[in-house]
Structure formats: structure tokens, C-alpha cells
Structure 1
């Protein structure tokens, strides 16, 4: 992505300025940031100066820039260990950055002397004080625990921290009519094919964008989803309607490597851009809900359940390790609920 960012002063407030040549795709991504604004005086788009935004653009933290020499060496060992265990690139980056923040915080203290009390203080003075999310708190806790267990060969009792309970949120599900509106609204054939494939196969966004031409088996009418979450391969049935749509798309766009490519041939389509396209689509479709790409996957699973598909098959199609993960869709399916007669009707 051809852009850069730096901290600027705007009306006595520190903001992050984003610099790029005129480009519609980059502009869409910039507008995705919360409270993104255009400065007429500085001729630059700018966003809030938060730790999360600094991390996104690789801008040094407000608190410090780099860990101690000992910290840098330990971080490199940590990264090598995770690679040797074949952790995903996303997990390696996330855990590496999380521990880096912790080691920067204790830059002037030997790692060997860091103990549970230090972690408790860090949790209160950094995570809670900066109002960082519960998911980030759990993430950084897991990363630090793994770091000390593996690289330092000692147990950091991070469980003494009262971790935030994960909210038991039901998946967001669209009606079939709403899904149809979303799939029929895009004029662009590529966008229509991408949304349709997510819904028709229950794909995660990353799985869709990782698909290569060879993953579509038109003779067997299946999609091969390789190295998905949990490093598992799985297959999903490919409907004849989708296959027809993909053939029309292929004739028009002629992708080289990935099924859905970005502006540069041979590179995958950008996920943030696709999410922004979806936002524009739901506006045009007149759907007043904060729909994300993952809603289409949730809707796929729920609609399968409502048409009588066995939960075990849905678990396989979605690539869930545990049946408990799949069972959550039983709580949002309306098929059984609609058969319940309200006592109000008997009054």
C-alpha cells in the first residue's frame, strides 16, 4: 500500500496524518478509520493519535520506541521459536508486538527480574489506563505467558490477573431476503462474485482472498480451502449457480494466480477494501444494519440449519474444531421459535 503516516499537530491536538497520492482505493481505506477527517489547511487526511493507530502504521509508541538490547535478543528468539512451531504469520506478528510493548514498558529492568507483580502493575497502568480492549488484554496476556514459558523457561502466573469475561454474543444473521439484496446490488461483477462465494460456501474473508484458481474444482463442484484457520484444509460444495457466475467473472477479469486479485496481477485482493465495498453495498441496498463480511458466513450456517442440515455437517463445512462453536447457531435459528405459540394469542 503506497501511503505513509506521521504524528502531526492539528489545532493543538496530536493526530496521525496519512499521506498518499490521489488514489480512490487508498481513500476508501483511510475513511474506514474512526474519526478520519480531512484538513483543508494542511491538505492531509488525519485520524486520532491512539496506540492502536500507531501500531497499525508502525509509528513508535508514545511511551518509548524500542526495548533494551536484552529485550531485542529475547524477542528474536521468541519469533524463531514460534516459527519453528509453525505458528501462523498473523499469530507471530500479534504475539511478537504484544511482548514488545511489555518489554518496552520494562526497558530499564532485567527480564530475569520481571515477576508477577510487574505484570499486575503493567495491566493496570498500561492496558486499563489506556482503555485498551478486553480482547487485546487477553491477547497480550497469552503472549506474555508463552514468552516466559518458552524463552525464559519459567512460569509467569498471568492467571492472577482477573481477565475480562468474553461476552457471549450471538452471531449476527441476515434474512435470505437481505442476503439476496446484498448479492444483487453490486454492479461490479467481481464484487458480486466475491460476496456470493463467501455466502454460498461459508468462507471467512481471509479464506476467500487466499483462494487460487486451482482451488476451484469445476468437475467435482467443490472449493478446496487450504491451510484455513487451525492449519486445516477442507472442502465446500460449489453450487452450479456460483460456478456459472465464476466463469463469467473469469472471462471478464482473467485473474493470473489468485481467484480474486487486486490492482496488481498475481496479488490477492485487499480485505479492508472489500469490507468498504460491502459498506457501500448495504447502503445502496437499503439495509440499515452494520453488516460485515462475517455476517454472510453466519447467515450461511444459520440458513443451512433452518433447512434441516445436520449440525455435524455444518461443523465440517465451517471448519470448526468443536461442535460447541457450531451449536451457537441453534440460538439464532428462528425455525423452532416460529412454531412456538405465544400465550398472548390465547387472551
Structure 2
């Protein structure tokens, strides 16, 4: 019995369907009959573009009485693709040109409102999906019934996140405003936001994390996020001149809410930063990609993921967890919460108050009644 295993791998930053087997000339020649299946020297195997259709073609092509085809690793992809296909069955495949043009005008209108690039792209995306849905249903765009139906079919049934639902409501509300319709007449309540406490890394865990990072650039980036309490977007937008080593401050320009602020420049971090600067010599941005320009968010996430794995930390920490940890550790050391609010760039002290729920000293002060029983 000849065994063939279908798996997923990456080639040129794209997921591909890989066909692995112990060398067999019969299988090799049989695979060559498929037009879209080719040999890769890098993967040392045959592969094709990853899609449900290609998976079906390859699987059926390899079905022979004395061959077995395993695809267990592909099951999560198959399940996800089926859910995606079912969800997109509510949408037309392609927007008519007149609506594409309308969305471009809507996009310009949003930029004129001085919304951020990410917000504009999100609003345009959700509006595009909403229009595709309403066109498939062949109904009026600006009615409460179609908004409610879309919310149910495209958000509730596939169990989209609360944040996505809020983005949808905000995006459609702006589209209605752009077209001169009153969204308020359509009564769709925003879902309550989940109140989750942030994931905090202890001082010991932070130290262990940094000790596993040997790449100077990666260490400098993670150290900056923690030592200055920055959002990843703020860190990768930093320019060299934003570092004020004379006043030991970092100038954050036009951050969330289009606000400037200053935050701390750690003396210990300055040593790491100087070594990094000498080694990498960035030209404009403090952290730049291999081909210049800003360092990517995705690359930064991979850096943290690898560091967490090597340090043995099992908490589901993210880059934002370093910012959360900075704020919590400051609070635990007795820093006034109003100063922490300024350093983080929070508009309201209520946002900063969340860290009072996760500080160790405040919890340790509470005497557990169970201890009085013994």
C-alpha cells in the first residue's frame, strides 16, 4: 500500500497544498498529469495553490486501490473553508462597477472626516460586504429589515466577535450618513463589550522573555514596547528624531485619537538602543524592514511568539500585553494613576483604572476568609 500525505506549508509567504510521499516513480509520473501541480526544490515535494477545489482535484486524482491519501492536517482548513463558503453564500461575488465607484467616493469622504487609515479601510470593507448582501437579496439598501437580516446572517450566525459587530454598525452608520439617510431610525443596539482583564506578564517573565531574544533588533523592539508602554503601531511609526536622549523622553506623534504625548525613555533601554542603532543604522524610522520603510506589525508579532515559545511562557500574551504589563508594574510600584494615564495616552482615567483590578499588591491586601478556618 502506497501512502501519500497532504499537508499545508508556506512558499513565498503563501500557504500551499503540499503532496508528500516516499519517492515512487509511479506516483511522481501520475502527479505530473495535473496541470497546476509542480515540483518545488525548496519544499522538496510537489505542491499546488491551497484551495478546497485543488484539494478535491488532487485527492480524486490520487484515489487508487493500492494508494492511501491522508489529509488529517488539512481538516482545520477544510472546516474553516466550509464555514467561509456558507457565510459568503449570502453575498454576490462581484460588486457592480457603479457601487465600486460609490465606495471610492465614500472612502474619500471618510478621509475628509479625518478618520485614521485603518478605520477608513475597515468601514469601507464592512460596507462593501453589506452592499453585496443587500444586492443578493434584491432589496432596498437603506431599510431596517435588510440591516437586521445582515446582522443575523453575517454576524450572529457565524458568531462574529462583538468588536466586529460594533465595527459593522459604525461603518454602516457612516455610510448612511454619507448618503444622507438617518441611521437612528433603524433600531439596532450595539452589543455590550466583553469586560476582559488584560494579560499581564510578571517581572520575572518579562526578564525571561528578553533573555531568550538574541537578535539585537528584536530585543530593542520588545524592550521599547515594555519600557515605554507603547502600542505596536506607535512603536513602528517612531522616527529616529522622536527619541530625546537629552530629556530622556520619547515623543509619540498623532497616536490614537490623533494626540501627541511624551513617555519615558529608560536609561537601560538607551544602552540597548545605541547598540542596535550602531549595528543596523536605520535611516528614517527607528525600526525598518529589510527593504526599508516601516517595520511590519506581522513581523513584530512573530518575534514575540518565538520569544514566548523559547522562554516557556504559556500565557496567551500579545504585543499589547507588554504595554499592559508596563502600566501594571508602574501601579504596583506606587506610581500615581494620573501619571500612568498620561504616559499611556488614555483620554479617560476610567480606561487606566482597569489596571487596579490586576495589581498583585492590591489583591494581597485582601484577607481570604478561608484562611481563618485553620
TM over 0.5: yes
Cα distance, 1:334 vs structure 2: 1.5
Cα distance, 1:20 vs structure 2: 4.0
Structure 1, gaps ≥5 residues long? 1-9, 31-35, 55-60
Cα gap change, 1:324 to 1:161, in 2 (>3 Å): same
Partner of 2:359: 333
Partner of 1:128: 156
Q: Does 1:283 align with 2:293?
A: no
Partner of 1:139: 167
Structure 2, gaps ≥5 residues long? 21-44, 51-75
Partner of 1:217: 244
Per-residue deviation, residues 34-54 of structure 1 (Å, max 9, x unmatched): xx9755475257483758x98
Partner of 2:37: none
Distance 1:18 1:117 in 2: 44
Partner of 2:124: 96
Cα distance, 1:154 vs structure 2: 1.4
Cα gap change, 1:170 to 1:108, in 2 (>3 Å): closer
Q: Does 1:43 align with 2:32?
A: no
**Pairing of 1:18-33 with structure 2 (within 5 A):** 20-21=11-12, 26=13
Distance 2:296 2:97 in 1: 36
Per-residue deviation, residues 109-141 of structure 1 (Å, max 9, x unmatched): 788663011111111122223333222121111
Counterpart pick for 1:269 among 282, 295, 313: 295
Q: Does 1:316 align with 2:342?
A: yes
Per-residue deviation, residues 221-280 of structure 1 (Å, max 9, x unmatched): 111111111111111111111111100111111111111111113x11121122112111
Conserved in 2, the CA contact under 8 Å of 1:201 and 1:238?
yes
154-163 vs 204-213, which moves further: 154-163
Conserved in 2, the CA contact under 8 Å of 1:98 and 1:143?
yes
Q: Secondary structure at the match of 2:253?
A: strand
Structure number with greater Rg is 2
Q: Does 1:184 align with 2:208?
A: no
Conserved in 2, the CA contact under 8 Å of 1:98 and 1:140?
yes
**Pairing of 1:64-75 with structure 2 (within 5 A):** 64-75=92-103
Cα distance, 1:325 vs structure 2: 0.5
Conserved in 1, the CA contact under 8 Å of 2:243 and 2:249?
yes
Q: Does 1:235 align with 2:239?
A: no
Distance 1:261 1:92 in 2: 25
Cα distance, 1:219 vs structure 2: 1.2
Q: Does 1:344 align with 2:344?
A: no
Cα distance, 1:304 vs structure 2: 0.5
Q: Secondary structure at the match of 2:183?
A: coil
Counterpart pick for 1:202 among 229, 254, 267: 229
Conserved in 1, the CA contact under 8 Å of 2:341 and 2:349?
yes
Distance 1:43 1:158 in 2: 53
Cα gap change, 1:202 to 1:158, in 2 (>3 Å): farther
269-278 vs 38-47, which moves further: 38-47
Conserved in 2, the CA contact under 8 Å of 1:19 and 1:45?
no
250-259 vs 40-49, which moves further: 40-49
Cα gap change, 1:67 to 1:237, in 2 (>3 Å): same
Provide the alpha-carbon RMSD of the alignment: 2.8
Q: Secondary structure at the match of 1:268?
A: coil
Q: Normalized against structure 2, the TM-score is what? A: 0.77
Partner of 1:57: none
Partner of 2:109: 81
